[in-house]
């Protein structure tokens, strides 16, 4: 389905949303006529509208919001501004609103919200000490002896390979905020993405906006075969940006909440620690220097080459214990560094330079169960865990800027329109 028709087709949520408060009612309060809900949504996202007498048509000045730290910085820089003719009629204004809803700058404005929601979700997930990594358990996801019911989930596949919410989407996410659950990092990435949507919509909205069978956790093949919103029948249009060229060109906010993985580059038989064959993540935050470095490099390819160089350089060190490179390159233990042979100092300096590069130090990701770390620390960690293969970073297929964005806009528009009808 074309992007231009997605928002309209998703207005099926209208009836359920008229009862909701919060964001949808805020839109309704802003809207003055039935045709104003689109403008109210745009204004809530940050767009500012002016009217002028002597202009032949609308003047859109999007600025560079994706390069800003937050919406306040974008507005202070003059981004997200549009001027419309003072005599424009409803049809002409509607065309402007529709164009703005599909404008790349509006995706950046949405990314401010998604980034904030992702960080709220990740902070709550990481704070739950009962949410652990997989160990000895009865199934793919381990809910403990009392089963998944206690934490709000019901099984849809055998041996713990798939679950959907039992009695409310929000309650199911709270099971990971507060419950005792074991899961590997792929499920951790799924839960982080759903939790970000839950934080974006709020409890009532998250329950109303998604059917339970759209919130699926488990093996990837279970997600692919179902109706899931991340992967499955409801996923819609995917962004294919594995090497992050598109995101790098847009700016730092284009990375917000995007899922990906750090994976071994050589064959599986080179792995020494099979539990660390990949690190599934969502992007937590990207600082300005990291974003600028990615833009200049044109995405991940340059940094995958540097990660390969880091691995090649590591082969010249003894790696006498399991956390050798963590201590050498991240913790920078003085005694460990002082014990090196003088011939290794130049190599160490080059490795230090790679790890301290703005991308490796300023591109922060969430990986279950390692919390939020700069991406460079994960590459260093793999030097210890799987020394016989380099690793590389990619973005997964995702619908963060397509289906999920459009579903959120449809949710807000539907709630606004329903409230106006009432």
Judgement on whether residues 191 and 96 belong to the same structural domain of the protein: yes
So what's the pLDDT on residue 30? 53
Please state, in angstroms and rounded to a whole number, the distance separating the CA atoms of residues 26 and 189: 31
Calculate the average pLDDT of the chain: 91
Tell me the pLDDT tens digit for each residue of 257-308: 999 999 999 999 999 999 899 999 999 999 999 999 999 999 999 999 999 9
* pLDDT given at position 318: 84
* Residues 221 and 272 grouped into a single domain: no
For residues 278 and 406, membership in a common domain is answered with no
Q: How confident is the model at residue 398 (pLDDT cuts 50, 70, 90)?
A: very high
Same domain, 168 and 283: no
pLDDT of residue 35 exceeding 80, the answer is no
Calpha distance 360→376 (Å, rounded): 4
Query: Could you tell me the residue range of the domain that residue 30 belongs to?
Result: 1-238+401-422
- What total of structural domains would you count in the chain? 2
Q: Are residues 386 and 422 in the same domain?
A: no
**Distance between CA 64 and CA 300 in Å, rounded?**
22
Mean pLDDT for 40-51 is 97
237 secondary structure, DSSP code: P
Q: Which of 382, 394, 378, 189 minimizes the C-alpha distance to 273?
A: 382
Q: Are 260 and 308 found together in one domain?
A: yes
Q: Are 114 and 283 in contact (CB under 8 A)?
A: no
Q: Please tell me the predicted confidence (pLDDT) of residue 322.
A: 81
Task: Please give the pLDDT value at position 3.
Answer: 44
Banded pLDDT at 370 (limits 50, 70, 90)? very high
Model confidence at 178: pLDDT above 70: yes
pLDDT of residue 134: 80
Tokens standing for residue 154 = 């019901």
5 and 153 housed in the same domain: yes
| Count of Cβ atoms closer than 10 Å to residue 51 Cβ | 11
CA distance 177 to 127: 8
Q: What is the pTM of this model?
A: 0.91
Question: Residues 224, 346: one domain?
Answer: no
Would you tell me how many other CB atoms lie within 10 Å of the CB of residue 274?
A: 9
Instruction: Give strand pairing partners of 393.
Output: 262
Same domain for 155 and 212? Answer: yes
Residues 213 and 323 in one domain: no
pLDDT of residue 267: 98
Which tops the pLDDT comparison, 6 or 223? 223
196-245 residue pLDDT tens:
999 999 999 999 999 999 999 999 999 999 999 999 999 999 999 999 99
Q: Do 302 and 203 belong together in one domain?
A: no
Residues 172 and 269 in one domain: no
For residues 131-140, give the mean pLDDT: 74
Tell me the percentage of the chain whose pLDDT exceeds 70: 90
Q: What is the pLDDT of residue 55?
A: 94
Quick one: what percent of the chain has pLDDT higher than 90?
Answer: 85
Give the whole-angstrom CA distance, residue 14 versus residue 131: 36
Question: What pLDDT, on a 0 to 100 scale, did the predictor assign at position 128?
Answer: 97
């Amino acid at each position: 389905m074309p992007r231009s028709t997605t928002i309209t087709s998703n207005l099926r949520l209208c009836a359920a949303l008229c009862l909701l408060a919060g964001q949808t009612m805020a839109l309704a309060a802003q809207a003055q006529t039935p045709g104003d809900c689109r403008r109210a949504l745009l204004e809530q996202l940050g767009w500012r509208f002016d009217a002028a007498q002597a202009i032949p048509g609308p003047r859109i000045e999007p600025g560079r919001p994706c390069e800003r730290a937050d919406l306040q910085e974008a507005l202070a820089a003059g981004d997200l501004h549009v001027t419309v003719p003072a005599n424009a009629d409803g049809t002409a204004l509607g065309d402007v609103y529709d164009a703005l809803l599909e404008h790349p700058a509006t995706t950046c404005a949405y990314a401010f919200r998604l980034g904030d929601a992702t960080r709220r979700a990740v902070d709550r997930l990481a704070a739950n000490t009962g949410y652990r990594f997989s160990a000895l358990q009865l199934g793919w996801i381990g809910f403990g002896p009392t089963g998944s019911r206690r934490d709000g989930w019901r099984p849809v596949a055998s041996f713990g390979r798939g679950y959907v919410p039992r009695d409310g989407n929000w309650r199911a996410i709270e099971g990971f905020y507060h419950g005792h659950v074991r899961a590997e990092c792929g499920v951790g990435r799924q839960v982080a993405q759903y939790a970000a949507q839950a934080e974006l919509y709020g409890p009532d909205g998250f329950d109303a906006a998604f059917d339970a069978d759209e919130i699926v956790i488990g093996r990837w093949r279970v997600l692919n075969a179902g109706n899931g919103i991340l992967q499955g029948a409801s996923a819609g249009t995917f962004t294919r940006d594995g090497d992050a060229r598109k995101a790098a060109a847009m700016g730092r906010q284009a990375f917000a909440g995007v899922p990906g993985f750090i994976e071994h580059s050589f064959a599986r038989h080179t792995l020494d620690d099979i539990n660390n064959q990949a690190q599934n993540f969502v992007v937590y935050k990207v600082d300005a220097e990291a974003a600028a470095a990615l833009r200049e490099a044109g995405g991940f390819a340059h940094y995958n080459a540097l990660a390969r160089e880091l691995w090649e350089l590591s082969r010249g060190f003894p790696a006498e214990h399991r956390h050798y490179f963590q201590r050498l390159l991240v913790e920078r233990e003085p005694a460990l560094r002082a014990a090196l042979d003088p011939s290794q100092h130049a190599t160490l300096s080059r490795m230090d330079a790679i790890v301290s590069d703005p991308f490796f130090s300023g591109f922060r990701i969430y990986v279950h169960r390692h919390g939020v770390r700069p991406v460079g620390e994960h590459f260093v960690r793999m030097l210890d865990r799987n020394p016989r293969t380099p690793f590389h970073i990619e973005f997964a297929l995702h619908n963060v800027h397509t289906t999920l964005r459009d579903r959120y806009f449809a949710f807000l528009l539907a709630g606004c329109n329903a409230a106006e009808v009432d």
